Structure 1
Amino acid sequence: MIHISTDMETQIIDDIMYRIVSRSMEHGEKLPSENELATKYKVPRMTVRNALTKLEERGYIYSKQGKGRYLKEEAMQIQLHLTGKTSFTDKMKQAGYELKTENFVCEKIDYNEQIYKILNLNKEESVFKVARIRYINEEPIAIHSSFVSETMFPRIAEDGPNIESMFAYYRNLGYKEFTSKKSLLSITFPTSNEQKLLSCKSMVPLIVVESDCIDVASNKVLEHTKILYRSDKFKYDITME
């Protein structure tokens, strides 16, 4: 019985996903009730509830207390070029988005072999993480973490909590032009803390972009960057510049 119930959950999920992808449902449209779906598929109401819960966890639908479940609004398309030549802040403002940045972390990190190697540091040196939440139209879109060397930026512990744009910070210190060697793209799922910061469910995939920022004049690596993007509220144009 459990096996059959699981199969039916999958069928319900697949059927609703097909309607979403084929656009036979409108964004914001109310879904049939649990009772209606249970009757349609000839399954217990709990089977329907489990299927809908999974769709909600994945970020496709949402609940209104006492009113039912609805298909989420259409995702906003965000143009995002995966290069280190222009800051995230500048990219979003140039594209006309209403961007807000909240700095929430400036802390010394434990030794991390990958990050230390990228920044060309030894174990005795210190690396600070400066993390910001990015909002578009008042909704959290990304967690942006920059890892920088205290050796290169001696005031980072004092300055870090007030930094919204690392590129602006670098420019104030005399760095003018930036580039990057490569960008890595992967997928992960949010931790409980990231769920709170990004206002998303545990099963909403996050797009991970890792890159570095290099000063063109000196060819020095200024920072290693890791950005976590929500995948459920936005579509990302990653066309290369």
Structure 2
Amino acid sequence: MMDQTHAIEQDMKLEIADYIIGLIQRNQMAAHDRLPSENELAKRFGVNRNTVRRAMDYLKARDRIYAQKGKGLFVAPSQEQIVFPQINNIGFSEIFQNYPYQYESKLLKWSLVRAKAELSRILEIQEGELIYKVKFLRSVQEKPLAVCISRIPQKMVPDLQAHLTLDCSINHILKQVYHYEHPVCKFVTAEAVMPLAKNMKLLEVNESVPMLKQISRFDVPNVGPVEHYTVYARGDRFKLDIQF
């Protein structure tokens, strides 16, 4: 009986949440509009206020509404969608530096690690060879957008750490320091994933915000693979437009 009661309450919670989302999507409520009170919603749906509160908690966790102390609940403004055109010969930073967005790239950390079997196969190196792992935080309009990880064979970029700065671009270093031709993207895979705990704080999201995980390999013409590139981008702000 308890399981059945819980299931009914769960259904009602989602029905109330969907009702509010529907009002927003049909433009019957706009950003910063005040939501109906708990009593109004409880009466409308024939439920107790605890069920309404759970529905509101559900919406707050997904950044659809926000609370103002002593005033009630309000519709949250929608996140701006940042469209990223995936072009096979232009890098992440290079694209955003030419956009009207305010863009920032911040070096988080770097390390030297041994390549495992799958990565060595992709980069066409021997398993166990040293690779640089370089992690960046990319922000647009002063809000974090993506965590990006570059993995580069050490033998191709000896002493890379000497050229890493807080706002460096890997492509810029490859061209200007090591005199390679501009790398070209050879493949891209993308999938929806839930955020890793270590990235939630960096990207200012909770566990309910999906991520777009994008993996690419970049090659230097007439040389071969130079970079394995992974992006964890906020699914509520990032839209991938592949233009190969």
TM above 0.5, yes or no, is: yes
Which shifted more, 125-134 or 152-161? 152-161
User: In structure 2, what is the equivalent of residue 103 of structure 1?
Assistant: 107
Q: Note the alpha carbon deviations across 1:4-27, whole angstroms, 9 max, x for none.
A: 111101211221222233232212
* Aligned equivalents of 1:109, 1:23: Cα separation in 2: 51
AA partner of residue 127 (structure 2):
K
TM superposition shift of 1:136: 1.0
TM superposition shift of 1:162: 4.3
User: In structure 2, what is the equivalent of residue 113 of structure 1?
Assistant: 117
* Aligned equivalents of 2:163, 2:35: Cα separation in 1: 49
1:131-146 → structure 2 map (5 Å cutoff): 131-146=135-150
Q: Note the alpha carbon deviations across 1:116-153, whole angstroms, 9 max, x for none.
A: 21111222311221111111111101111111111211
TM superposition shift of 1:214: 1.2
* Aligned equivalents of 1:119, 1:29: Cα separation in 2: 52
In the superposition, the TM-score normalised over structure 1's length comes to: 0.89
In the superposition, the TM-score normalised over structure 2's length comes to: 0.88
Does the CA contact (< 8 Å) of 1:105 and 1:161 recur in 2?
no
> Structure 2: any 5+ residue segments left out of the alignment?
none
TM superposition shift of 1:29: 2.4
1:159-174 → structure 2 map (5 Å cutoff): 159-160=163-164, 162=166, 164-172=168-176, 173-174=178-179
1:1-241 → structure 2 map (5 Å cutoff): 1-109=5-113, 111-160=115-164, 162=166, 164-172=168-176, 173-216=178-221, 218-232=222-236, 234-236=237-239, 238-240=241-243
TM superposition shift of 1:110: 5.2
* Aligned equivalents of 1:163, 1:72: Cα separation in 2: 32
Asked which structure has the greater RCO (Cα within 8 Å, sep 6+), the reply is 1
TM superposition shift of 1:158: 3.9
* Aligned equivalents of 1:41, 1:139: Cα separation in 2: 37
Q: Note the alpha carbon deviations across 1:10-62, whole angstroms, 9 max, x for none.
A: 21122122223323221232322333322322212221222222222233233
AA partner of residue 174 (structure 1):
H
Which shifted more, 153-162 or 197-206? 153-162
TM superposition shift of 1:181: 1.5
> Which has the larger Rg?
2
- % identical equivalent positions: 25
* Aligned equivalents of 1:56, 1:112: Cα separation in 2: 41
TM superposition shift of 1:202: 0.8
> Structure 1: any 5+ residue segments left out of the alignment?
none
* Aligned equivalents of 2:123, 2:165: Cα separation in 1: 21
